[in-house]
Structure 1
Amino acid sequence: MSAKRKASPKAQQLKGAVKENVGRAVGNEEMAAEGSSERARGELREAGKKAKNALKR
């Protein structure tokens, strides 16, 4: 399993948000888009984790 996959969803959201804001600040739309998608992936992983935990109960 890759290190990127092992990272917690919150860490992935934070990294994506930072990358998105830095990209916007320096005018790099590609970096901003990468950050936005990374943040969204973290949110999806977190939602999946919550759903999995809800089914266990």
Structure 2
Amino acid sequence: MLNQTFDDFELICIDDGSTDTSLSILKEYANKKDISVSEAAKQLVKIALKKN
């Protein structure tokens, strides 16, 4: 995704509380590129998932 020539997009990744290292990987890229990482409280994510 980061090597695309088309740069007018928004990539949204949702942390569902998994125990893998995906959140830390996203944070590493955020330090290197113009990327924003937001963390929501796990409770809010669970509520959002239940509504969908």
The one of the two structures with greater contact order (alpha-carbon pairs below 8 A, sep at least 6) is 1
What's the TM-score once normalised by structure 2's chain length? 0.32
Q: Which has the higher helix share?
A: 1
What's the TM-score once normalised by structure 1's chain length? 0.31
